[in-house]
Amino acid sequence: MTPAAPRQLALALEHAESFARDDFLSGPSNEQALALIDSWPAWPHRAVMLTGPAGSGKSHLAAAWAQTAGARSVAAHALDHASVPGALATGALVVEELSAGGFDERALFHLLNLAREEQAFVLLTARTPALNCTIRDLASRLKALPVVAIAPPDDVLLRAVLVKLFSDRQVAVEESLVSYLATRIERSFAAARAVVARLDAEAMRRQRPLTRAFAAEILRLPQA
């Protein structure tokens, strides 16, 4: 019996992604968020919330601002009462990915109060500003914060994001493939990330070039 040919495995490697300000792709959907980052320190309020769907660029903008402002960064779920003074030590802080029930409300309330006392800058990121806090004073404080939202990408930005995602994986693709994907996948940053990751993995596993026909075969999308 002839042994089966070994199956080509795609390694789950981490792909470097630049969070430099110059590598941020701008468009109508995120121009207000980008303007916020670029206008620092001339913010009308020292604490601001940046919202947007998964993969929309919140972390990229937060990282760019942190580099400019000398800010520290902390994940919302890791914030605790005792760590607040140290987190604000540089006078600027990013608190990433606030979500309902996913953070210590007392710690965040303490943080906002201390930041106000010390005139520190705070950039909060979340998918939505509706966090349903149980501490009423915190809920009021968050509701009073300026909110800058990132919207889903338009067609031009979605195409640019697809090109960048392939480039981050060191994969050169033709414009025909980018156009094909941009008009057929869900218009979201998360969908773009998912489709690029899947196509790259399948192309490596099957040792096939990334083409429009290959994408249609893998994703079962119409080619017309």
Inter-axis angle of helices 175-182 and 212-219, nearest 10: 30
Strand 121-126 and strand 147-149: the pairing is unpaired
Architecture of the domain made up of 28-149: 3-Layer(aba) Sandwich (3.40)
Contact yes or no for 41/121 (Cβ under 8 A): yes
Domain 155-219 part of CATH 1.10.3210: no
Domain ranges of the chain: 28-149, 155-219
Contact yes or no for 71/100 (Cβ under 8 A): no
Q: How far apart are CA 78 and CA 90, in angstroms?
A: 18
Write down the residue that tokens 């070039």 correspond to.
209
Give me the tens of pLDDT residue by residue for the chain, a chain 224 residues long: 444 333 343 444 455 566 777 778 888 999 999 999 999 999 989 999 999 988 888 999 999 999 999 999 999 999 999 999 999 999 999 999 999 999 999 999 999 999 999 999 999 999 999 999 999 999 999 999 999 999 989 999 999 999 999 998 999 899 999 999 999 999 888 899 999 999 999 999 999 999 999 999 998 865 55
Contact yes or no for 60/30 (Cβ under 8 A): no
